[in-house]
Amino acid sequence: MAHRAGLSAHTSKYKIRRLVWFEQHEDFETSLRRERQLKRWRRAWKDRLITEANPNWHDISYDIP
């Protein structure tokens, strides 16, 4: 729940308080590749990815095991 508390520089700077999407990966290399891929995506593509999994953009931070 570090994002809710605004503990990282990014969440603090941009006032991010809600987790609406996440992915789990088997290892660090796979997750890093995916992160780099998503950073190249257009905003509309990212919005669609989130909306497909979480149509109302609810905070899912409490649902993460």
User: Tens-digit pLDDT profile for the chain (65 aa)?
Assistant: 454 555 567 777 877 788 999 999 999 999 999 999 999 999 999 999 999 999 999 999 888 87
Residue 4 lies in a domain: no
Q: How far apart are CA 17 and CA 48, in angstroms?
A: 20
pLDDT at 11: 74
Residue 12 lies in a domain: no
CA atoms within 13 A on the CB side of 37: 8
Q: How far apart are CA 63 and CA 50, in angstroms?
A: 15
Domain that holds residue 30: 19-63
Number of domains making up the chain: 1
The H or E element containing residue 38 is helix 28-40
Residue 1 lies in a domain: no
pLDDT at 27: 98
Residue 7 lies in a domain: no
